[in-house]
Amino acid sequence: MSFYECCARSLPEGSDSPSRLALSARRLGYAGIVICNSGQSPAFRPEAASAVRGMDVAWGVQIRGPNPKALRSRVASFRNRVPFIAVSASSEDLARAACEDPNVDVLIHSESARRGLGIAAARAARQNQVAIGFDLSPMIRLRGSHRIRWLRSARRNLELARKFDLSMIITASAGSHLDLRSPRDLMALAELAGFEAEEAERALRLPASLLDLNRRHWLSPGVELL
Amino acid sequence: MRSKLPVLRPRRRYVIFVAESEEPLQSKDLAQEIRSAQISLFGDEGAASNSLKLISFQAGFGILRCGHLYIQQTRALLATIFSVGGIRAAIHVKGVSGTIKSGTEKYIPKLCKISAESEGRRIELEEVSGCIIHSRGREIDINPDERTPGLGSDTRYLGLTSFDLCGGHDDADGTADGL
Protein backbone atom coordinates (compact mmCIF):
# COMPACT_ATOMS: atom_id res chain seq x y z
CA MET A 1 0.00 0.00 0.00
CA SER A 2 2.36 2.72 -1.09
CA PHE A 3 -0.02 5.46 -2.05
CA TYR A 4 1.42 8.95 -2.34
CA GLU A 5 -0.26 12.30 -2.41
CA CYS A 6 1.78 14.44 -4.76
CA CYS A 7 1.48 18.19 -5.28
CA ALA A 8 0.36 19.21 -1.80
CA ARG A 9 1.06 22.87 -1.01
CA SER A 10 2.24 23.93 2.43
CA LEU A 11 2.75 27.27 4.16
CA PRO A 12 3.26 29.95 2.84
CA GLU A 13 1.38 28.83 -0.30
CA GLY A 14 -1.11 26.56 1.42
CA SER A 15 -2.45 27.07 4.91
CA ASP A 16 -0.94 24.08 6.71
CA SER A 17 2.56 23.31 7.83
CA PRO A 18 4.25 20.33 6.11
CA SER A 19 4.08 18.28 9.31
CA ARG A 20 0.32 18.84 9.64
CA LEU A 21 -0.21 17.72 6.05
CA ALA A 22 1.94 14.66 6.70
CA LEU A 23 0.03 13.76 9.90
CA SER A 24 -3.35 14.11 8.19
CA ALA A 25 -2.19 12.13 5.16
CA ARG A 26 -0.91 9.34 7.39
CA ARG A 27 -4.29 9.08 9.08
CA LEU A 28 -5.97 8.81 5.68
CA GLY A 29 -3.77 5.88 4.67
CA TYR A 30 -1.02 7.40 2.58
CA ALA A 31 2.53 6.10 2.74
CA GLY A 32 4.05 9.40 1.73
CA ILE A 33 3.43 12.92 0.63
CA VAL A 34 5.21 15.15 -1.85
CA ILE A 35 5.10 18.83 -0.97
CA CYS A 36 5.23 20.91 -4.12
CA ASN A 37 5.44 24.64 -3.56
CA SER A 38 6.55 26.95 -6.32
CA GLY A 39 10.03 27.13 -4.80
CA GLN A 40 10.10 30.92 -4.63
CA SER A 41 9.88 31.27 -0.86
CA PRO A 42 11.46 28.94 1.73
CA ALA A 43 9.25 26.20 3.16
CA PHE A 44 7.85 26.51 6.70
CA ARG A 45 9.80 24.34 9.20
CA PRO A 46 10.88 21.53 6.89
CA GLU A 47 12.69 19.77 9.74
CA ALA A 48 9.43 19.30 11.73
CA ALA A 49 7.94 17.23 8.90
CA SER A 50 10.62 14.58 9.22
CA ALA A 51 9.56 14.05 12.86
CA VAL A 52 6.29 12.45 11.69
CA ARG A 53 6.95 8.74 11.98
CA GLY A 54 6.00 6.27 9.28
CA MET A 55 5.59 8.91 6.59
CA ASP A 56 7.86 9.65 3.68
CA VAL A 57 7.82 13.42 3.26
CA ALA A 58 9.43 14.35 -0.06
CA TRP A 59 10.09 17.82 -1.38
CA GLY A 60 9.16 18.65 -4.89
CA VAL A 61 8.45 21.75 -6.85
CA GLN A 62 5.53 22.79 -8.99
CA ILE A 63 6.51 25.19 -11.73
CA ARG A 64 4.14 27.58 -13.43
CA GLY A 65 6.36 29.19 -16.01
CA PRO A 66 5.27 32.39 -17.69
CA ASN A 67 6.76 31.25 -21.00
CA PRO A 68 8.45 28.11 -22.40
CA LYS A 69 11.97 29.53 -22.17
CA ALA A 70 11.66 30.50 -18.50
CA LEU A 71 10.03 27.13 -17.79
CA ARG A 72 12.95 25.20 -19.28
CA SER A 73 15.54 27.17 -17.35
CA ARG A 74 13.65 26.79 -14.05
CA VAL A 75 13.22 23.04 -14.57
CA ALA A 76 16.94 22.67 -15.28
CA SER A 77 17.88 24.66 -12.18
CA PHE A 78 15.64 22.55 -9.89
CA ARG A 79 16.51 19.14 -11.32
CA ASN A 80 19.52 18.50 -9.11
CA ARG A 81 17.93 19.96 -6.00
CA VAL A 82 14.56 18.19 -5.69
CA PRO A 83 13.45 14.64 -6.57
CA PHE A 84 10.06 15.61 -8.00
CA ILE A 85 9.27 18.27 -10.60
CA ALA A 86 5.71 18.97 -11.64
CA VAL A 87 4.74 21.54 -14.24
CA SER A 88 1.33 23.09 -14.23
CA ALA A 89 0.63 24.29 -17.74
CA SER A 90 -2.02 26.86 -18.47
CA SER A 91 -1.45 27.16 -22.20
CA GLU A 92 -0.68 24.88 -25.11
CA ASP A 93 2.85 26.26 -25.59
CA LEU A 94 3.74 25.56 -21.97
CA ALA A 95 2.30 22.03 -22.10
CA ARG A 96 4.30 21.34 -25.25
CA ALA A 97 7.51 22.73 -23.71
CA ALA A 98 7.01 20.63 -20.56
CA CYS A 99 6.40 17.45 -22.56
CA GLU A 100 9.56 18.00 -24.60
CA ASP A 101 11.74 18.30 -21.50
CA PRO A 102 12.94 14.92 -20.15
CA ASN A 103 13.71 16.58 -16.79
CA VAL A 104 10.01 17.08 -16.06
CA ASP A 105 8.33 14.29 -14.07
CA VAL A 106 4.67 15.24 -14.29
CA LEU A 107 2.69 17.62 -16.43
CA ILE A 108 -0.44 18.76 -14.63
CA HIS A 109 -3.04 20.11 -16.93
CA SER A 110 -4.65 23.00 -15.12
CA GLU A 111 -8.35 23.72 -15.24
CA SER A 112 -7.81 27.16 -16.74
CA ALA A 113 -6.42 25.63 -19.93
CA ARG A 114 -9.20 25.86 -22.43
CA ARG A 115 -7.90 23.19 -24.77
CA GLY A 116 -6.79 19.72 -23.79
CA LEU A 117 -3.46 18.15 -24.49
CA GLY A 118 -2.38 18.16 -28.14
CA ILE A 119 -1.34 15.06 -30.07
CA ALA A 120 2.18 16.38 -30.63
CA ALA A 121 2.56 17.10 -26.92
CA ALA A 122 1.32 13.60 -26.02
CA ARG A 123 3.80 12.04 -28.45
CA ALA A 124 6.63 14.09 -26.95
CA ALA A 125 5.51 13.09 -23.44
CA ARG A 126 5.73 9.43 -24.47
CA GLN A 127 9.30 9.93 -25.76
CA ASN A 128 10.48 11.83 -22.69
CA GLN A 129 8.58 9.72 -20.14
CA VAL A 130 6.61 12.63 -18.76
CA ALA A 131 3.57 11.48 -16.79
CA ILE A 132 0.23 13.24 -17.13
CA GLY A 133 -1.20 14.48 -13.85
CA PHE A 134 -4.93 14.74 -13.25
CA ASP A 135 -5.66 17.30 -10.59
CA LEU A 136 -9.03 16.28 -9.12
CA SER A 137 -9.55 19.45 -7.07
CA PRO A 138 -11.81 21.05 -9.74
CA MET A 139 -13.99 17.94 -9.48
CA ILE A 140 -14.30 18.62 -5.73
CA ARG A 141 -14.61 22.40 -5.90
CA LEU A 142 -16.61 23.15 -9.01
CA ARG A 143 -20.32 22.60 -9.55
CA GLY A 144 -22.55 22.67 -12.58
CA SER A 145 -21.37 23.76 -16.00
CA HIS A 146 -17.78 24.45 -14.90
CA ARG A 147 -17.42 20.90 -13.64
CA ILE A 148 -18.98 19.53 -16.81
CA ARG A 149 -16.40 21.40 -18.88
CA TRP A 150 -13.59 20.12 -16.68
CA LEU A 151 -14.86 16.52 -16.87
CA ARG A 152 -15.04 16.74 -20.64
CA SER A 153 -11.47 17.96 -20.96
CA ALA A 154 -10.26 15.35 -18.43
CA ARG A 155 -11.91 12.59 -20.45
CA ARG A 156 -10.24 13.81 -23.62
CA ASN A 157 -6.84 13.89 -21.94
CA LEU A 158 -7.47 10.42 -20.56
CA GLU A 159 -8.23 9.04 -24.01
CA LEU A 160 -5.07 10.59 -25.35
CA ALA A 161 -3.02 9.22 -22.44
CA ARG A 162 -4.41 5.73 -23.10
CA LYS A 163 -3.74 5.99 -26.82
CA PHE A 164 -0.10 7.00 -26.31
CA ASP A 165 0.33 4.73 -23.29
CA LEU A 166 1.39 7.57 -20.98
CA SER A 167 1.71 7.04 -17.27
CA MET A 168 -0.86 8.88 -15.19
CA ILE A 169 -0.97 10.42 -11.74
CA ILE A 170 -3.98 11.59 -9.75
CA THR A 171 -3.78 14.17 -7.01
CA ALA A 172 -6.11 16.26 -4.89
CA SER A 173 -3.68 19.20 -5.03
CA ALA A 174 -4.30 19.95 -1.37
CA GLY A 175 -3.60 23.36 0.14
CA SER A 176 -4.72 22.33 3.64
CA HIS A 177 -5.68 19.22 5.60
CA LEU A 178 -9.31 19.85 4.66
CA ASP A 179 -8.45 19.43 0.97
CA LEU A 180 -6.85 16.01 1.41
CA ARG A 181 -8.91 13.00 0.39
CA SER A 182 -8.17 9.38 1.21
CA PRO A 183 -6.82 7.13 -1.58
CA ARG A 184 -10.11 5.22 -1.91
CA ASP A 185 -12.13 8.43 -2.14
CA LEU A 186 -9.80 9.72 -4.85
CA MET A 187 -10.17 6.42 -6.71
CA ALA A 188 -13.95 6.73 -6.53
CA LEU A 189 -13.74 10.27 -7.94
CA ALA A 190 -11.32 9.18 -10.66
CA GLU A 191 -13.67 6.39 -11.69
CA LEU A 192 -16.39 8.98 -12.23
CA ALA A 193 -13.97 10.96 -14.38
CA GLY A 194 -13.51 7.92 -16.62
CA PHE A 195 -10.60 6.00 -15.08
CA GLU A 196 -10.63 2.22 -14.76
CA ALA A 197 -10.21 0.98 -11.18
CA GLU A 198 -6.71 -0.44 -11.83
CA GLU A 199 -5.63 2.67 -13.69
CA ALA A 200 -6.60 4.83 -10.72
CA GLU A 201 -4.74 2.58 -8.31
CA ARG A 202 -1.63 2.58 -10.49
CA ALA A 203 -1.87 6.36 -10.76
CA LEU A 204 -1.77 6.71 -6.98
CA ARG A 205 1.23 4.41 -6.70
CA LEU A 206 3.29 6.02 -9.47
CA PRO A 207 4.82 8.89 -7.41
CA ALA A 208 6.51 6.31 -5.15
CA SER A 209 8.37 4.74 -8.07
CA LEU A 210 9.21 8.13 -9.60
CA LEU A 211 10.70 9.31 -6.31
CA ASP A 212 12.62 6.07 -5.96
CA LEU A 213 14.17 6.54 -9.41
CA ASN A 214 14.92 10.23 -8.96
CA ARG A 215 16.58 9.81 -5.58
CA ARG A 216 19.31 7.65 -7.08
CA HIS A 217 22.34 9.29 -8.64
CA TRP A 218 22.28 9.07 -12.39
CA LEU A 219 25.41 10.11 -14.27
CA SER A 220 23.77 9.88 -17.68
CA PRO A 221 20.74 8.00 -19.01
CA GLY A 222 21.13 4.37 -17.95
CA VAL A 223 24.34 4.92 -15.94
CA GLU A 224 23.94 4.97 -12.17
CA LEU A 225 26.49 5.94 -9.55
CA LEU A 226 26.32 3.28 -6.82
CA MET B 1 -49.90 -2.57 5.63
CA ARG B 2 -48.42 -5.88 4.61
CA SER B 3 -44.64 -6.03 4.88
CA LYS B 4 -42.62 -6.37 1.73
CA LEU B 5 -41.61 -9.75 0.37
CA PRO B 6 -38.08 -10.64 1.51
CA VAL B 7 -36.81 -10.79 -2.07
CA LEU B 8 -38.06 -7.26 -2.71
CA ARG B 9 -36.45 -5.80 0.38
CA PRO B 10 -33.91 -3.13 -0.54
CA ARG B 11 -30.35 -4.13 0.33
CA ARG B 12 -28.74 -1.37 2.29
CA ARG B 13 -25.27 -0.46 3.38
CA TYR B 14 -24.23 1.96 6.09
CA VAL B 15 -21.32 4.27 5.35
CA ILE B 16 -19.54 5.44 8.51
CA PHE B 17 -17.76 8.73 7.99
CA VAL B 18 -15.88 11.30 9.99
CA ALA B 19 -16.32 15.01 9.27
CA GLU B 20 -13.39 17.34 9.86
CA SER B 21 -14.30 20.98 10.01
CA GLU B 22 -13.19 24.35 11.30
CA GLU B 23 -16.30 24.78 13.49
CA PRO B 24 -18.79 22.18 14.80
CA LEU B 25 -21.30 21.22 12.11
CA GLN B 26 -25.08 21.03 12.30
CA SER B 27 -26.57 17.74 11.19
CA LYS B 28 -29.30 19.55 9.24
CA ASP B 29 -26.75 21.51 7.19
CA LEU B 30 -24.77 18.36 6.54
CA ALA B 31 -27.82 16.43 5.29
CA GLN B 32 -28.66 19.31 2.99
CA GLU B 33 -25.11 19.50 1.66
CA ILE B 34 -25.01 15.74 1.01
CA ARG B 35 -28.29 15.99 -0.88
CA SER B 36 -27.12 18.91 -2.99
CA ALA B 37 -23.75 17.23 -3.72
CA GLN B 38 -25.60 14.11 -4.87
CA ILE B 39 -27.94 15.99 -7.16
CA SER B 40 -25.09 18.06 -8.56
CA LEU B 41 -22.97 14.99 -9.30
CA PHE B 42 -25.54 12.40 -10.40
CA GLY B 43 -28.66 14.35 -11.21
CA ASP B 44 -32.24 13.64 -10.20
CA GLU B 45 -32.21 10.21 -11.76
CA GLY B 46 -29.11 9.15 -9.84
CA ALA B 47 -30.52 10.54 -6.61
CA ALA B 48 -33.72 8.55 -7.11
CA SER B 49 -31.94 5.23 -7.61
CA ASN B 50 -29.58 5.68 -4.65
CA SER B 51 -31.73 6.93 -1.80
CA LEU B 52 -29.51 8.37 0.90
CA LYS B 53 -30.43 8.96 4.49
CA LEU B 54 -28.33 10.49 7.22
CA ILE B 55 -29.04 8.14 10.12
CA SER B 56 -27.07 9.94 12.78
CA PHE B 57 -24.40 12.58 13.14
CA GLN B 58 -22.73 13.18 16.49
CA ALA B 59 -19.35 14.55 17.52
CA GLY B 60 -18.01 14.49 13.97
CA PHE B 61 -18.96 10.85 13.32
CA GLY B 62 -21.90 10.08 11.09
CA ILE B 63 -23.78 7.14 9.59
CA LEU B 64 -25.23 7.42 6.11
CA ARG B 65 -27.52 4.79 4.55
CA CYS B 66 -27.15 3.99 0.85
CA GLY B 67 -27.98 1.24 -1.60
CA HIS B 68 -25.64 -1.76 -1.78
CA LEU B 69 -24.75 -1.15 -5.43
CA TYR B 70 -23.93 2.50 -4.94
CA ILE B 71 -21.14 2.48 -2.36
CA GLN B 72 -18.57 3.81 -4.81
CA GLN B 73 -20.95 6.59 -5.88
CA THR B 74 -21.56 7.49 -2.24
CA ARG B 75 -17.83 7.67 -1.55
CA ALA B 76 -17.37 9.96 -4.54
CA LEU B 77 -20.17 12.32 -3.57
CA LEU B 78 -18.94 12.53 0.02
CA ALA B 79 -15.48 13.37 -1.33
CA THR B 80 -16.87 16.32 -3.30
CA ILE B 81 -18.13 18.07 -0.17
CA PHE B 82 -15.75 20.89 0.74
CA SER B 83 -17.93 23.22 2.81
CA VAL B 84 -21.03 22.70 4.95
CA GLY B 85 -23.22 25.73 5.65
CA GLY B 86 -20.35 28.09 4.84
CA ILE B 87 -17.86 26.28 7.11
CA ARG B 88 -14.87 24.61 5.48
CA ALA B 89 -15.13 20.88 6.04
CA ALA B 90 -13.95 17.54 4.69
CA ILE B 91 -15.65 14.16 4.94
CA HIS B 92 -13.60 10.99 5.09
CA VAL B 93 -15.20 7.56 4.85
CA LYS B 94 -14.08 5.27 7.68
CA GLY B 95 -15.79 2.14 6.47
CA VAL B 96 -18.93 0.49 5.15
CA SER B 97 -21.00 -2.07 6.96
CA GLY B 98 -24.21 -4.03 6.56
CA THR B 99 -25.86 -3.07 9.83
CA ILE B 100 -25.83 0.03 11.99
CA LYS B 101 -24.75 -2.00 15.00
CA SER B 102 -21.67 -3.57 13.46
CA GLY B 103 -20.69 -0.28 11.81
CA THR B 104 -20.89 1.57 15.10
CA GLU B 105 -18.89 -1.08 16.93
CA LYS B 106 -16.24 -1.30 14.24
CA TYR B 107 -15.62 2.26 13.18
CA ILE B 108 -16.90 4.73 15.78
CA PRO B 109 -14.59 5.08 18.79
CA LYS B 110 -16.26 5.05 22.20
CA LEU B 111 -14.45 8.01 23.68
CA CYS B 112 -13.15 10.98 21.79
CA LYS B 113 -10.10 12.28 23.56
CA ILE B 114 -10.10 16.02 23.23
CA SER B 115 -7.60 18.19 25.01
CA ALA B 116 -8.77 21.74 25.35
CA GLU B 117 -6.06 22.90 27.72
CA SER B 118 -4.09 25.03 25.33
CA GLU B 119 -6.97 26.74 23.57
CA GLY B 120 -6.73 30.50 23.51
CA ARG B 121 -3.00 30.53 24.09
CA ARG B 122 -0.83 32.59 21.80
CA ILE B 123 1.80 31.39 19.40
CA GLU B 124 4.58 33.65 18.18
CA LEU B 125 6.77 32.22 15.49
CA GLU B 126 8.98 33.96 12.98
CA GLU B 127 6.61 33.37 10.10
CA VAL B 128 3.18 33.29 11.73
CA SER B 129 1.57 34.41 14.96
CA GLY B 130 -1.93 33.95 16.32
CA CYS B 131 -4.18 32.26 18.87
CA ILE B 132 -4.88 28.54 19.16
CA ILE B 133 -8.45 27.73 18.16
CA HIS B 134 -8.56 23.94 18.46
CA SER B 135 -6.04 21.33 19.36
CA ARG B 136 -6.41 17.58 19.08
CA GLY B 137 -3.47 15.35 19.85
CA ARG B 138 -0.54 16.82 17.97
CA GLU B 139 -2.70 18.83 15.61
CA ILE B 140 -3.22 22.51 16.28
CA ASP B 141 -5.35 25.04 14.40
CA ILE B 142 -4.43 28.66 14.86
CA ASN B 143 -6.21 31.86 13.95
CA PRO B 144 -3.57 34.10 12.35
CA ASP B 145 -3.35 37.74 13.44
CA GLU B 146 -3.10 39.06 9.95
CA ARG B 147 -3.64 37.47 6.60
CA THR B 148 -0.95 38.58 4.24
CA PRO B 149 -2.12 38.17 0.67
CA GLY B 150 -0.65 35.05 -0.87
CA LEU B 151 -0.27 33.34 2.50
CA GLY B 152 -2.39 30.25 2.81
CA SER B 153 -5.29 28.91 0.79
CA ASP B 154 -8.99 29.58 1.42
CA THR B 155 -9.24 28.21 4.95
CA ARG B 156 -9.86 30.48 7.93
CA TYR B 157 -7.32 28.90 10.22
CA LEU B 158 -3.79 27.68 9.70
CA GLY B 159 -2.98 24.07 10.54
CA LEU B 160 0.21 23.37 12.47
CA THR B 161 1.46 20.53 14.65
CA SER B 162 3.32 20.36 17.91
CA PHE B 163 6.37 19.39 15.85
CA ASP B 164 6.42 22.91 14.41
CA LEU B 165 6.39 24.55 17.82
CA CYS B 166 9.06 22.56 19.58
CA GLY B 167 12.22 20.82 18.56
CA GLY B 168 10.27 17.83 17.37
CA HIS B 169 10.58 15.81 20.57
CA ASP B 170 7.48 13.71 21.13
CA ASP B 171 6.99 14.61 24.79
CA ALA B 172 7.94 18.27 24.68
CA ASP B 173 4.99 20.58 25.21
CA GLY B 174 6.32 23.37 23.05
CA THR B 175 6.76 25.93 25.81
CA ALA B 176 10.44 26.35 25.00
CA ASP B 177 10.06 28.68 22.06
CA GLY B 178 6.65 28.64 20.52
CA LEU B 179 3.95 29.14 23.13
pLDDT digits (tens, 9 = 90+) for B97-115: 999 999 998 998 875 555 4
A14 touches chain B (CB under 8 A): yes
Q: pLDDT confidence of B169, banded at 50, 70, 90?
A: very low
User: Phi and psi (nearest 5°) for B104?
Assistant: -65, -45
Domain ranges of chain B: 8-107, 113-179
Task: Assess contact for B161 and A20: CB atoms under 8 A.
Answer: yes
Quote the mean pLDDT of chain B.
82
Q: Which residues pair with B122 in a beta bridge?
A: B131
Task: Assess contact for A160 and A116: CB atoms under 8 A.
Answer: yes
Partner-chain contact B21 A178, CB within 8 Å: yes
Q: Which of B40, B75, B88 sits opposite A144 (nearest CB)?
A: B40
CA dist., res. A112 & res. B115, Å (int): 43
Give the minimum alpha-carbon distance from A129 to chain B in angstroms, rounded to a whole number: 30
- Compare A65 and B166 and report the one with higher pLDDT: A65
- Compare A169 and A226 and report the one with higher pLDDT: A169
Give the minimum alpha-carbon distance from B79 to chain A in angstroms, rounded to a whole number: 6
Q: For B125-147, what is the mean pLDDT?
A: 78
| A66 exposure class (CB count in 10 Å sphere: 0-12, 13-18, 19+) | exposed
What residue ranges define each of the domains in chain A, with the CATH number in brackets?
Answer: 4-225 (3.20.20.140)
Architecture in CATH of B8-107: 2-Layer Sandwich (3.30)
Predicted complex: ipTM over 0.85: yes
Whether A226 has a pLDDT exceeding 70, the answer reads yes
Q: Which of A15, A139, A181 sits opposite B155 (nearest CB)?
A: A15
Quote the mean pLDDT of chain A.
88
Partner-chain contact A175 B20, CB within 8 Å: no
Whether B33 has a pLDDT exceeding 60, the answer reads yes
Contact residues for A71 (Cβ-Cβ < 8 A; gap 6+) = A63, A65, A87, A94, A97, A98, A101
Q: For A16-36, what is the mean pLDDT?
A: 91
Residues 45-74 of A with CB under 8 A from B: 45, 47-52
Q: Which residue of B has its CA nearest to A44?
A: B127
Task: Assess contact for A189 and A197: CB atoms under 8 A.
Answer: no
Global pTM reads: 0.85
Q: pLDDT confidence of B173, banded at 50, 70, 90?
A: very low
